[in-house]
Amino acid sequence: MAGVEGVGQPRQRIGASAARWAPAADDEQALKALELFGNPADDEVRLPSRPESAATARRLTQCVVLRQWSLPLQTGEYAVLLVSELVGNAVRHTGARVFGLRMLRRRGWIRIEVRDPSRGLPCLMPVTEMDTSGRGLFLVDKLADRWGVDLLPRGKTTWFEMRVADR
């Protein structure tokens, strides 16, 4: 279950891969997204609340986590998947016109936040093998080390954190 007001839930993760990011066909698109919207590791990036913004958020995450921070490929893959889930929830369930994306790195951790103007809390639902929707927070709960929701005076920030090895 998610924590509220900055209290998250610790989770165990599968061991990290030693592979590093290598240029791919969509790297150019990731760099264009960074140019167009800004770097979410420097400051919050505001994106329109539309389904296609999930692809932009994935590209920004890929660029920051793999290229800028040089983290393992598996960490990047998990971060891209989980940011897509949080963005999908913000787009589908909040009625917002825009949402914010921010990425933070501190010793041993990365944190990715999606801020929206709704104060409605996300709900971790039990899922079964046959479910075709409702798996977003289930994935966040399983793949992130911690996640939670911070209520704000106007809205909320849903976040996840992952442990990373520092050089």
Confidence of residue 77 (pLDDT cuts 50, 70, 90): very high
Provide the strand spans (E) within the chain: 3-4, 45-48, 98-106, 109-116, 146-152, 155-163
Which domains does the chain show, CATH number per domain? 3-14+26-163 (3.30.565.10)
Q: Find, among 119, 115, 113, the residue nearest to 99 by Cα.
A: 115
Whether the CB-CB separation of 141 and 147 falls below 8 Å is answered with yes
pLDDT recorded at residue 5: 45
Task: Specify the pTM.
Answer: 0.80
Q: What is d(CA 121, CA 130) in angstroms, rounded to the nearest whole number?
A: 25
Cα dist from 113 to 15, 27, 103, 129, whole Å:
23, 22, 6, 28
The mean per-residue pLDDT over the stretch 51-77 comes to 94
